[in-house]
Structure 1
């Protein structure tokens, strides 16, 4: 399991909190002098200035104090998690914790609702604290292995639920023209564009510009705050995405990808994000050498409405 998002950097003061999350326990400090509960972790009690602080395990439960729905990524790495449900939870001990809601839909969120902790193990190096509604069926722990299995299940579901394909002979020009539509297909399978995939493409293509291959420099100097995939790479990865096509062209001797009428790299694909695609038949015409079909294929980062790659692919059936 890869993780392309920022991770916490525990300090000697905060380490017990992060260690507790790894053990699926919420631990917060309590002053032994005045019994004041403390969060975020500190060296002295903000109420009485005592240094006699102890770590206590608590339920982590509380109520939703406030929330917002972020439809623009807070950082480029969160492009594939849109919309983000950012929240502040008031623990039963009276403390406020910044977090992210999972396992709930926007319409189900209400200020004051009871919430419980969810331990997100996907980063592997650390466990993150999320929250969900008390009555949600969201598992208490989000395991990296379970997330990988869920991704595989999503891809299998796309393939299994694909409708039976209508077979159309390439000489039946009227039937082919009936496929032209402004409506896009359902989503394809998904593919994770990891830094390793980007590095391998850079080595193969010779395009090793730092914005693609140097995460540290891209984070410090780049306009996107992280490395991004080459536009050409994302275009090539269309071949890795299984589109749920409703038709199959038959009766041809040769099929040639003739080129593209339009190829645009509209938005970046940050490393570590998943992509999927959808398509539509934009045009069909009889040409001297056969039948030419133009397929508009739009590749999106999962969770993003705006496409990353727009490719009007021209296919020639001869």
Structure 2
């Protein structure tokens, strides 16, 4: 998985802290004159003013001081990690560290619960510090191959597939019975990578920098990084297995007749996952057969607002 989220930049003062995380150690500064523990990294002790500071390894254990469950992404890049569990941890040495929690159900969070450190290596160029309950089964180190038990689960193993209800393409009464204001359940999720975006840009000729230049998009763009083409996200609907419990049968041919409406209300940042759902919007008899309009909504996982709204018109002949 390509990392699409902001990363820290070490300074000469903070470098030992980040080097410690890469070694899977939590390191804090301690005042050598009076023993005060410090965090964040500084050039002098804020309690006594001493500049005699030493870096020392600590256990990293602590308690949950406070937390919030963010259900709106703090940045677009975090749309695929909803909800974000933002927390302040009070280490046993008394300092407070801002972090995110992993491997825990938000409903189980409680101020004062004991936490242990988790070293997140997924960014590659830096290791980040997360926290999880001390009795959690979450691994101590997160990698691309390590599933976060708080993250959306991998697609379940196939179960016995129930028979789909078959409806003849000329059975207008039965087809109109599918029309609903309610959306289906969610499809599988697909990750939209930068490589995928680059390939689409090369194929379509739309290589505008907001799609293909991560550095410029981060510096000058309105979304903090590159985003997928709306047309690409629309096309990826074919990779989303919508949970349909019916099948239209008896036709000789089916034609994708186009779209009555196609909108791209919100961006899909590179690296995010998308999934979709649908509803049958209308069914009508036309001269050449039966026309069915299906509204498909594609969302970034965790986002309430869709990234694509497509009223897809299909003609059964």
User: Normalising by structure 1, what TM-score?
Assistant: 0.92
Residue 260 of structure 1 is matched in structure 2 by: 259
Residue 277 of structure 1 is matched in structure 2 by: 276
Deviates more, 1:141-150 or 1:196-205: 141-150
Q: Cα deviation per residue 1:7-26 (whole Å; 9 max; x = unaligned)?
A: 12223332222222223221
Check conservation: 1:162, 1:245, Cα contact below 8 A.
Answer: no
Q: CA 1:119–1:162 in structure 2 vs 1: closer, same or farther (change >3 Å)?
A: farther
Residue 251 of structure 1 is matched in structure 2 by: 250
The SS at the match of 1:66 is strand
- 1:266 positional shift: 0.9
Q: CA 1:205–1:148 in structure 2 vs 1: closer, same or farther (change >3 Å)?
A: farther
Q: Cα deviation per residue 1:56-111 (whole Å; 9 max; x = unaligned)?
A: 22221111112222233222211222222211111110000000122223322222
CA distance in 1, matches of 2:82, 2:63: 23
Residue 65 of structure 1 is matched in structure 2 by: 65
Residue 188 of structure 1 is matched in structure 2 by: 187
- 1:270 positional shift: 1.0
Residue 112 of structure 1 is matched in structure 2 by: 112
Q: Cα deviation per residue 1:267-294 (whole Å; 9 max; x = unaligned)?
A: 1111111100011111111211111111
CA distance in 2, matches of 1:164, 1:78: 38
Q: CA 1:148–1:110 in structure 2 vs 1: closer, same or farther (change >3 Å)?
A: closer
Residue 124 of structure 1 is matched in structure 2 by: 124
Residue ranges of structure 1 left out of the alignment (5+ in a row): none
- 1:310 positional shift: 0.6
Residue ranges of structure 2 left out of the alignment (5+ in a row): none
The SS at the match of 2:154 is helix
CA distance in 1, matches of 2:151, 2:253: 35
- 1:313 positional shift: 0.5
- 1:231 positional shift: 0.9
1:25 aligns to 2:44 (yes or no):
no
Check conservation: 2:20, 2:27, Cα contact below 8 A.
Answer: yes
CA RMSD of aligned residues (A): 2.3
CA distance in 2, matches of 1:143, 1:150: 14
CA distance in 2, matches of 1:284, 1:196: 39
Residue 10 of structure 1 is matched in structure 2 by: 10
The SS at the match of 1:175 is helix
1:300 aligns to 2:292 (yes or no):
no
Residue 134 of structure 1 is matched in structure 2 by: 134
Give the alignment of 1:74-85 within 5 angstroms.
Answer: 74-85=74-85
CA distance in 1, matches of 2:160, 2:285: 32
Aligned residue pair count: 317
Q: CA 1:245–1:161 in structure 2 vs 1: closer, same or farther (change >3 Å)?
A: farther
Between structures 1 and 2, the one with greater helix share: 1
Residue 54 of structure 1 is matched in structure 2 by: 54
Check conservation: 2:187, 2:276, Cα contact below 8 A.
Answer: yes
- 1:37 positional shift: 0.9
Check conservation: 1:267, 1:306, Cα contact below 8 A.
Answer: yes
1:167 aligns to 2:192 (yes or no):
no
- 1:47 positional shift: 3.1
- 1:316 positional shift: 0.8
Check conservation: 1:163, 1:244, Cα contact below 8 A.
Answer: no
Q: CA 1:70–1:126 in structure 2 vs 1: closer, same or farther (change >3 Å)?
A: same
The SS at the match of 1:187 is coil
Deviates more, 1:216-225 or 1:273-282: 216-225
The SS at the match of 2:78 is helix
CA distance in 2, matches of 1:249, 1:19: 60
